[in-house]
């Protein structure tokens, strides 16, 4: 079944050179896959890549780091509770301690909304992610705080902390996770409407800011109000990320990559996402907060010629033995024409099978994928898939030959998982699964496991 996951095949080596394209997003340096490798090697990869050069660079050895404006004073950066009941928006900033642009952005948004407090419904609260990491200026100390959000690990850290003397035995990121859990649960408990969450990130290389989320109808509605590029099907490739975990807890969540860590534009991008997210969540009426208009046009401008929504069709899985080398010059989201050379490995050249998009090409360090391959998800296809899901067509998928449903909790809060016999999987275009929200597709022995996040109903 590797052909399903890797439709991009290597062409035999050919003579001749191609010219590199002009990168669409200046200033441009080699983009990197910082946030998004999956599989067991991801911690090592993520940590290794982001702690190289960048962490030793002069801008991170600022002796007054702990006094910087972008280091939060405590777990709660700030909050505003409106007099009227309404939705809640939780913003998490710096879950990677070296990504602090979100803190400044949250402070700006809180100041903007404080001035219009009487117009605000519900609550907005900004929470620090890896607080100790931010104070030290490191991505994390023991483990990546954005790979620990699974049911098993949340239960484990809670149980260990509850034992006598247990808290003292917790490591740095256990403490961070526990305190985040406490604040997020408290916000959920006092919520007077649907709860939303935006998890803010930045990257070591320049690139287009973009949004990712698990493909549920409510999360689509929340996120597509923001005109930045949206990459569907990416979160599903990641294990243990905060936004995916809270989405299984009924929260409407998205993650945002705001841009390069130190770029002032990244703060602007994250501020815009928070403002537009608050509007989309319904904390205030459309147009009530005047800054949303400029936030919207700035996001549109930064998206440039990219489509609003991209979907991942496959990942180019690699191992060190493949000797994979990406062609230079691709932005983190890059439109390519059929036949364009994308990379080389020990078998020769890898060319684009058709017109499409290279997503998160690997330029630094080692990763589990060389790049993702995707295409535009048109508004018409978005509408079609929403219609199919409203009709709950997926309820009948397991009646088809070779498809079995293995996991779906009665309360609808669990992921839905199907097992597809690989002998018949070829008869079912992946498109069908994508349309219905099943974007996590993996091989397991004689079966293809396809999963989708739960539709939030509460
Ligand atoms: Zn991050």
Query: Could you tell me the pLDDT band of residue 412, with boundaries at 50, 70 and 90?
Result: low
For residue 100, the CA-to-ligand 1 centroid distance in Å is 9
Cα 267 to averaged position of ligand 1 atoms, centre (Å): 14
Ranges for all domains in the chain classified under CATH 3.40.630: 42-303
Give the highest mean pLDDT range of 32-36, 343-347, 418-422: 343-347
- For the segment 8-19, the average pLDDT, to the nearest whole number, is 37
Per-residue pLDDT for 218 more than 80?
yes
Cα–Cα distance measured from residue 224 to residue 185, given in angstroms and rounded to the nearest whole number: 26
Q: Is the pLDDT of residue 357 over 50?
A: yes
Q: Is the pLDDT of residue 351 over 50?
A: yes
Q: Starting at the earlier edge strand, list the strands of the sheet with 341-345.
A: 10-11, 348-351, 341-345, 325-326
CB 8 within 8 A of CB 316: yes
Residue 426 has pLDDT above 80, yes or no: no
pLDDT score, position 166: 92
User: Does pLDDT of 22 surpass 50?
Assistant: no
Determine the pLDDT at residue 219: 94
Start and end residues for every CATH 3.30.200 domain found in the chain? 379-452
For residue 61, is the peptide bond before it cis, meaning its omega torsion is within 30 degrees of 0? no
Cα(433) to centroid of ligand 1, in Å?
28
Average confidence score pLDDT of the chain:
83
| Distance of CA 103 from the midpoint of ligand 1 (Å) | 13
Work out the average pLDDT over 319-347: 95
Q: How far is Cα 424 from Cα 364, in angstroms, rounded to an integer?
A: 38
Supply 270's token pair.
């994250």
User: Ligand 1 centroid to 257 CA: how many Å?
Assistant: 7
Tell me which residue has tokens 């689509």: 220
Q: How many H-runs (helices) and E-runs (strands) does the chain carry?
A: 13, 19
Q: Tell me the fold of 379-452.
A: Phosphorylase Kinase; domain 1 (3.30.200)
CA distance 263 to 374: 27
Residues 6+ apart with CB under 8 A from 125: 76, 78, 79, 88, 89, 90, 91, 183, 187
34 CA → ligand 1 middle, Å: 8
Residue 214 has pLDDT above 60, yes or no: yes
Q: Which of 424, 410, 419 is nearest to 441 (CA)?
A: 419
The tokens describing 62, both together, are 């600022």
| Whole-angstrom distance, CA of residue 288 vs CA of residue 107 | 19
- Would you state the pLDDT for residue 316? 92
What's the CA-to-centroid distance between 282 and ligand 1, angstroms? 26
Coil/strand/helix, residue 22: coil
As given in the structure block, the two tokens for residue 199 are 């998890």
pLDDT tier, 171 (very low <50, low <70, confident <90, very high otherwise): very high
Cα-to-centroid distance, 260 and ligand 1 (Å): 11
Q: Residue range 13-21: average pLDDT? A: 35
Higher pLDDT, 127 or 435: 127
Q: How far is the CA of 351 from the centre of ligand 1 (A)?
A: 30
pLDDT of residue 206: 93
Can you give 89-107 as a three-state secondary structure string?
A: EEEEECCCCCCCHHHHHHH
Average of per-residue pLDDT across 158-186: 96
Q: Say which range, 33-37, 359-363, 368-372, 395-399, has the weakest mean pLDDT.
A: 33-37
Q: Which residues place a Cβ less than 5 A from the ion ligand 1?
A: 96, 99, 201
Please give the Cα distance from 137 to 63 (Å, whole number).
11
Which is higher by pLDDT, 9 or 421? Answer: 421
- 110-157 pLDDT, tens digit each: 999 999 999 999 999 999 999 999 999 999 999 999 999 999 999 999
Dihedral of the alpha carbons of 337, 338, 339, 341, in degrees to the nearest 10: 50
Query: From CA 367, how far away is CA 389, in angstroms rounded?
Result: 34
> What is the share, in percent, of the chain residues with pLDDT greater than 70?
82
How many whole angstroms separate alpha carbon 214 and alpha carbon 433? Answer: 14
Q: Is the pLDDT of residue 346 over 60?
A: yes
Mean pLDDT on 339-345: 96
Please, what sign has the CA dihedral across residues 66, 67, 70, 72?
positive
Distance 243 CA to ligand 1 centre (A): 12
Distance from residue 346's CA to the centre of ligand 1 (Å): 32
What angle separates helix 264-281 from helix 291-303, to the nearest 10 degrees? 120
Ligand 1 centroid distance, CA of 35 (Å) = 6
Handedness of CA 391, 394, 400, 405 (dihedral sign): negative
Ligand 1 center from residue 96 Cα (angstroms) = 5
Question: pLDDT value at position 411?
Answer: 56
Instruction: Give residue 328's pLDDT band: very low, low, confident or very high (50, 70, 90).
Output: very high
386 — pLDDT class (breaks 50, 70, 90): confident
Give 334 Cα–ligand 1 centroid separation in angstroms: 21
Residue 1 has pLDDT above 50, yes or no: no
For residue 135, report the distance from its CA to the centre of ligand 1, in Å: 16
Q: Does domain 42-303 have CATH number 3.40.630?
A: yes
């Amino acid at each position: 079944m590797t052909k399903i996951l890797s439709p991009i095949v290597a062409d035999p080596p050919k003579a001749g050179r191609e010219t590199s394209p002009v990168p669409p997003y200046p200033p441009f340096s080699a983009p990197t896959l910082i946030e998004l490798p999956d599989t067991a090697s991801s911690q090592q990869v993520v940590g290794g890549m982001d702690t190289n050069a960048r962490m030793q660079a002069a801008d991170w050895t600022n002796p007054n780091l702990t006094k910087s404006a972008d280091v939060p004073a405590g777990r709660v950066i700030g909050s505003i509770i409106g007099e009227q009941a309404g939705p809640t928006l939780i913003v998490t900033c710096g879950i990677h301690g070296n990504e602090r642009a979100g803190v400044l952005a949250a402070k700006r948004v809180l100041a903007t909304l404080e001035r219009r407090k009487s117009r605000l419904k519900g609550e907005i609260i900004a929470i620090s992610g890896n607080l100790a990491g931010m104070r030290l200026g490191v991505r994390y100390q023991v483990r990546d705080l954005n790979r620990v959000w699974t049911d098993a690990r949340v239960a484990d850290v809670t149980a260990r902390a509850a034992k006598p003397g247990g808290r003292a035995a917790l490591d740095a990121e256990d403490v961070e996770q526990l305190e985040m859990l406490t604040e997020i649960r408290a916000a959920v408990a006092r919520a007077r409407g649907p709860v939303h969450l935006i998890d803010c990130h930045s990257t070591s290389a320049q690139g287009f800011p973009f949004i990712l989320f698990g493909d549920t109808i409510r999360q689509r509605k929340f996120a597509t109000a923001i005109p930045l590029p949206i990459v569907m099907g990416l979160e599903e490739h990641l294990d243990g990320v905060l936004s995916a975990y809270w989405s299984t807890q009924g929260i409407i969540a998205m993650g945002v990559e705001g841009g390069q860590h130190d770029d002032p534009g990244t703060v602007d991008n994250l501020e815009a996402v928070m403002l537009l997210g608050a509007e989309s969540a319904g904390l205030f009426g459309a147009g009530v907060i005047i800054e949303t208009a400029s936030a919207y046009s700035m996001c549109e401008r930064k998206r440039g010629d990219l489509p609003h929504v991209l979907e991942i069709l496959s990942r180019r899985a690699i191992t060190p033995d493949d000797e994979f080398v990406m062609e230079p010059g691709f932005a983190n989201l890059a439109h390519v024409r059929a036949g364009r050379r994308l990379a080389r490995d020990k078998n020769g050249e890898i060319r684009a099978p058709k017109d499409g998009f290279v997503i998160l090409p690997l330029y630094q360090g080692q990763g589990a994928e060389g790049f993702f391959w995707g295409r535009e998800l048109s508004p018409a296809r978005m509408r079609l898939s929403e219609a199919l899901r409203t009709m709950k067509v997926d309820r009948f998928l397991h009646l088809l030959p070779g498809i079995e449903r293995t996991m779906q909790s009665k309360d609808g809060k669990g992921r839905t998982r199907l097992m597809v016999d690989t002998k018949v999987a070829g008869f079912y275009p992946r498109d069908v699964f994508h349309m219905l929200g099943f974007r996590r597709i993996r091989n397991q022995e004689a079966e293809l496991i396809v999963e989708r996040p739960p539709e939030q109903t509460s």
